[in-house]
Structure 1
Amino acid sequence: MATRDPRIDAYIAKSAAFAQPILEHLRSVIHMACPEVEEGLKWSMPFFSYKGAPMCMMAAFKQHCGFGFWLSGQVVGDTAEDGMGQFGKLASLKDLPPKKELVAYVKKAMVLNETGVKPARARVEKPAPVLPDDFAALLAQKQHAAARKTYQDFGPGAQREYVDWIVEAKTDATRRKRIATALEWLAEGKSRHWKYQKC
């Protein structure tokens, strides 16, 4: 049987009067659905873990509470609710799904933790950077074919490091110097931060 963390008792006791029954109800449902749940605080909020991995969390704010699952997309699907968590701003018990539905969500989260599912990390691919005209003109020249090939073989991130370095120059003299250095390093097959890379 899981024990209750006294820090969560204190968190609930310090919460606004409207929030206390919501937090107590959520805590009770979580313990009923998952007797082995582990309680704790993360980021100063009550967190509930199972099998050593976060499962769900709750929080009290000035005018509402929030509740959500760590693997929210896999547990409740994509939601666009306002407020922390997947259930919007909870101002009273009636804002929560029925107890049976909450239990089903907790059971689903338990299975995900048991099978070792990790949160999906959204990866945003940035487009390739736009080459400044002066740098592009030099790269296009025959004598800079090696530099051009290296630049074209780099991914968008490595390309962006060179472009950002060039466009962030404060003076024309610095910009020209950086372009000359970039062409030299690229001809040698070097990334912008080659000095700091492990051999």
Structure 2
Amino acid sequence: MDPHVGSGKIITAPIITEDGVPINDPLVLLEATSSSSSSSSANHRLTDKHTIEWKLTLHQIGLDVLRTDRSMLFYEKKENLSKLWDILAVYAWIDKEVGYCQGMSDLCSPMIVLLNDEADAFWCFERLMRRLRGNFRCTQQSVGVENQLQHLASIIQVLDPKLHDHLERLGGGDYLFAFRMFMVLFRRELSFGDSLYLWEIFSFIFLVTP
């Protein structure tokens, strides 16, 4: 694990190259260096593929954290932003297959807001991702959430064929307009409070379905 995690800092600039060489740009070091242990290994080239891929995502996590729920007073405190960054960074480390993807910060944010303890927030997020990680699993042929879009299309075609035909005529028969809704569970379509009300319904469904 990297010493930046838990340091109270948020990484928003690349700290390593794709070849595993640490970036020694002064501005990057000013932001990223959090301890003597990290500075002492500034010139140490990494060879482990998983570690390199993980470190390459840390600044993207930081950029997404700064954009997440920015209208909330809660995130005016840097310590709350760093909690969100810590949880996403740790999750990206333990989930070697999926890692971190954009949209995860929207799913994790309510855990930070509702739970004071960072460890509790992490495990709630990890539990949620057990259900949703398939949405973020990508291959060269498809994105995980596409299966849900196909199910939605089939349901609408049966329940409201006129609406389905209308969407087909408009070129929306692939239902890509619902992509973000499924990815982040309506976090960006609804207000923070309204999305949590909807999540209560989702949580009940999660409890009664295997």
- Normalised by the length of structure 2, the TM-score is 0.25
Larger Rg: 1
- Normalised by the length of structure 1, the TM-score is 0.26
Between Structure 1 and Structure 2, which shows a larger proportion of strand residues?
1
